[in-house]
Amino acid sequence: MFFGHIKQVEFSHYPAAIQKALAFLQQTDFEQLEVGRYPIEGDVIFAQVLDLVTQEKSTLLPEAHERYLDVQYLHSGVEMIGVSVNPPPLEIAKPYDSDRDILFYKDVENETMLIMNPGNFAVFFPQDIHRPACIYQNSSSIRKIVVKVSIDLLK
């Protein structure tokens, strides 16, 4: 997992595919985009613009992906994202959905909470179980962009 601020990116520290995702985040005016999916490099790198309302952590399921990593960028609002790295075997809440590339777990142990403010981004690899859109202090409307990057681009 990587965590940072979009205005303080040292591109040379990231693989080329993640550099493309970060460049898109730096160069795009998200006030002008509608909610939806935007291709960056076909189906191997694409962005999802989302408008959400943060929820209680207990109502959200931790998730993981197999074929894509997530670059989650917060454009507006405040959220917390729970992260658990290298957890023990976990109980599955919803089986892997290959169309959406997502698996949900019932819960995780040793979860660390990241506070995301506008401009923050986090890169979650398949081993990084994460629980996005959690309330930090008060419920918040958020606009976040999730850039999906095919793991195959990192090989």
Per-residue model confidence as pLDDT tens digits over 12-46? 999 999 999 999 999 999 999 999 999 999 999 99
Phi-psi region of 45 (alpha: psi -120 to 50; beta: other; left: phi over 0): beta
- The per-residue pLDDT of the chain, averaged, comes to 96
Mean pLDDT throughout 69-95?
Answer: 92
Average pLDDT of the residues in 82-96: 88
| Between 73 and 90, the higher pLDDT residue | 73
- Total count of residues recorded for the chain: 155
CATH at 77: 2.60.120.370
Under the banding of pLDDT at 50, 70 and 90, the label for residue 109 is confident
Question: Residue 149 sits in which domain range?
Answer: 2-153
- pLDDT of 85 > 90? The answer is no
Helix, strand, coil percentages for the chain (3-state, nearest 5): 15, 50, 35
Please give the tally of structural domains in the chain: 1
